[in-house]
Structures are given as C-alpha cells and as structure tokens.
Amino acid sequence: MNRRNFLKSIVKVAAIAAIATKLPKTIFAQNSKSISSPDLVGVRNGTPVEMFRKGVNAFGGIQTFVKPGQKVVIKPNISFDSGPEHGANTNPKLVGEIVRQARSAGASEVLVFDHTLNEWKSSYKNSGIQQAVQEAGGKILRANDKNLYETLQRPQAKKLKKCALFKPLLTADVFINVPILKNHGGAKMSCAIKNLMGIVWDRHYFIEMI
C-alpha cells in the first residue's frame, strides 16, 4: 500500500467516527461530485455503534473499504487504564462492531493495538476493548516493545526524516483509525491525528519533529 492510498484510507475511515450531540440532523454527507459517493460523512444522535453503522452505510458499507482476504489493522485509543464510563479511551462496543464488520466483509485477519501510555495489559483489559475485540473475532496485539517497531527513513522530508512505526501496520491492507474526540492540554483537541501517536515508538521524538 503506497503512501497516498494509506493516507486516503486514514482520512476516509476516520471520518466515520462521530460524536453524539443534540443537534437536529442525524446524518449529513459532503462530496464534490455526487452525494451517492461521499468523501465525508458525519452522524449525530445515537450510540457509537448506531452512528458507525449509519456512517459506513453512507459510504456503501464496510465492503467499500475491506475486501475478502485483506489484513485489517485497527487503531483505537486504548492509552489509559480506565473503564469505558470515563470516556478516556475509544468506546469498546464501537471497536467490537468495526471488528465484526471487517470480519463479515471477508478480512483474513483483524488486528487491534495501541502503544499505551499506562501499563498495556491493564489498559487493554479495563478499557473493555480487549474483550470486545476477542468476542468479535479479532486479535489484540501488544505494542509495548521496541522490537515490534521498524524505523523508516525519509531523507527528503523537511522535519520527520525517520520514524519507528509498528510493524504489523506496515503490512496492513486496510488501516482504520478510531479515535475518541477529547480536549487536550497540549494539542487542544485530541482526535484522529493525535490518535496516531500510538503507532510510533518514540512519542517525544515524534512531537519534536512535527
């Protein structure tokens, strides 16, 4: 998968994740050519699972992104040793639904991971995401070992000339970024781009370079 397609996948699939509000409309879509094939979909008013289903269906279903035999890697926010009632991590029911849909589309394997801030075993368990993934037929991967990362060199880049990325991500056919929208002391807003901090080994180096 080349860089252009990789970034395109991130943008499109991350757009499915939505926030429940009390705004009047429940779904909207935007596209420069035709509403039948939107570039961006937003969904309001519903549970995370309900909103995901509406959003992905507006794109034509999960099969628009996941084809039979493909390897799917999902990156939720699992950084914190905290239960879902606190809203620190991605909703586990949403992650489980994405895993189930990817499997139903014929994915050969569905892998879920995060390079957590808190101790990874506790974060995976207490967030509820580990159980949700396993029950949905996916596989949870640890990402707390430097040997699990591969350093890529990009000398032509202006700033981030090298970065150690999680190896299973580099061999994925489909990458799905599933953040949770929060306020953040440094970035002001934590969402899809901020969630990518969990795919690198050295967060401090990543922050300094960008």
pLDDT digits (tens, 9 = 90+) for 93-134: 999 999 999 999 999 999 999 999 999 999 999 999 999 999
3-state secondary structure at position 121: helix
Q: Match 């159980």 to its residue by tokens.
A: 131
* Spacing of C-alpha 21 from chain mean position: 21
CATH code for the domain defined by 64-209: 3.40.50.11440
Which stretches within 15-47 are classed as H helix? none
pLDDT number for residue 167: 97
pLDDT number for residue 102: 98
pLDDT number for residue 160: 83
Domain residue spans of the chain: 64-209
pLDDT number for residue 89: 95
**Residue ranges of the chain with per-residue pLDDT less than 70:** 1-36, 187, 207-210
Separation of alpha carbons 117 and 80, rounded Å: 6
Contact 134, 95 (CB under 8 A): no
